Amino acid sequence: MQGSQSESDADDAFPDNLKSDLTALVEDFDRCNPDGWRPIRVLKERDGERTELQCDDQGRKRIRKLFCRHDDALRQVYCTLSHIDSPYIVRIRSVEETPDGIEIIRDFVEGRTLREVIDDRGPLSDGKARTTLIEIARGVQALHSCTPSIIHRDLNPNNIVMGKQVVRIIDFGIARAKNSVMTQTSSVLGTAHYISPEQAQGKELTAASDIYSLGIVLYEAATGKLPFDGPDAVSVAMKQVNDLPA
């Protein structure tokens, strides 16, 4: 009766050329991932931006975000964010300039986005809406109080995670430091339903612009509806400028 195959026997069963290819693959992986982190899922890949979930051998998770462009203003924002120690702002672990663009490593936040919560359950209770507003506002205050201060420019429910203990702001892709130079084409950005009137008009933004967006987030969280809606982003933006809330 033939005995069971040992691990060494199984290794010998591979052809030499296949073993060589496998060894090279492992060596390439170790060389590209010297800290032991490996990608397990791509969360987003569009508009020159790639976001992936990574884990290490101990099961810890983190987010790697690559902006496929070289942008001094964006790098300045993330470098500033990396020095912010606030429970309401996701922790930025590293900011690196690579040949492919700007690489950001940040903490993975367990929880669901505020967008997912509203879509699934409807409006928050009065108490939950109040707590959520306070915690987001504290995160925004941390952004506005740092040096240089940061204007988020795109506060919306997709960028807010309802964590197990606190609410965190997690995305800063179009945020800008107050002293950064911006082009006209980059000044009108953000999600139309949440941008301030001055942002819709391409004017200079201040901390008040984020407060306006925070107000719309609270409005939707408390009512389940948006104060301004329309068939397209342009019409919604114009309602922000000209109309009263619905």
User: Which of the residues are catalytic?
Assistant: 154
> In angstroms, rounded to a whole number, what is the distance separating the alpha carbons of residues 218 and 56?
37
Q: Look at residues 95, 100, 73 and name the one whose alpha carbon lies nearest to residue 82.
A: 95
The Cα 88–Cα 135 span in angstroms is 6
67-74 — which CB contacts under 8 Å span 24+ positions?
67/101, 67/102, 67/103, 67/104, 67/173, 68/100, 68/101, 69/101, 69/102, 70/97, 70/101, 70/102, 71/102, 72/180, 73/176, 73/177, 73/180, 73/181, 73/182, 74/102, 74/173
User: Distance between CA atoms of 151 and 56, rounded to whole angstroms?
Assistant: 33
Phi, psi of 127 (to 5 degrees): -65, -40
Instruction: Please report where in the chains the tokens 């040096």 appear, as a residue.
Output: 147
Question: Comparing C-alpha atoms, which of 97, 107, 73 is closest to residue 180?
Answer: 73
